[in-house]
Amino acid sequence: MTSTLPRTVRAVDTAHLLALAQEAALHGFSQRLPVDWLREYLAAEATHYLFPTIVQRLTHRPEMPLQWRCQQLLTVNTGEQILGLLDVLPGTFDTIPETLDAASKKDIVSRIERAASVCEWVERTGAEAGL
């Protein structure tokens, strides 16, 4: 496991994203959406993307493991892509296969930069159950 933040994007299916959210919940990580909310609103057959942006060290809570805060581009059941955050263990992130080429990664990061946040989407659609 490394504390060096990778400059990459990883793709995961909905089941894998739910498992990552569950792991974050078990560790009590602060940046995560509730698993039940994700289960209700994510498009079941979609691909979602994780882009690590911050190395998170909680020096005031030394029992907490180092985390990588990832921006996540989520595809919800309306077909829209929205921006969320998810704290992931570096070792867990490293197990996600590298499947995207450089052009795809650049396109995904561009979409992340333009995406509405989860909060904006919830306000617009009223999809706030569990948040």
What pLDDT is stored for residue 1 in this prediction? 46
**How many helices (H) and strands (E) are present in the chain, helices listed first?**
5, 5
What is the mean pLDDT of the segment spanning 38-59? 92
Supply the pTM of this predicted model.
Answer: 0.91
pLDDT above 60 (res 2):
no
For the chain, give every domain's residue range. Answer: 13-125
What pLDDT is stored for residue 129 in this prediction? 64
Among the listed residues 82, 76, 78, the one whose alpha carbon sits nearest the alpha carbon of residue 112: 82
Token look-up 């996600």 returns 96
pLDDT band for position 25 (cuts 50, 70, 90): very high
What pLDDT is stored for residue 108 in this prediction? 98
Q: What is the average pLDDT value for the chain, to the nearest integer?
A: 92
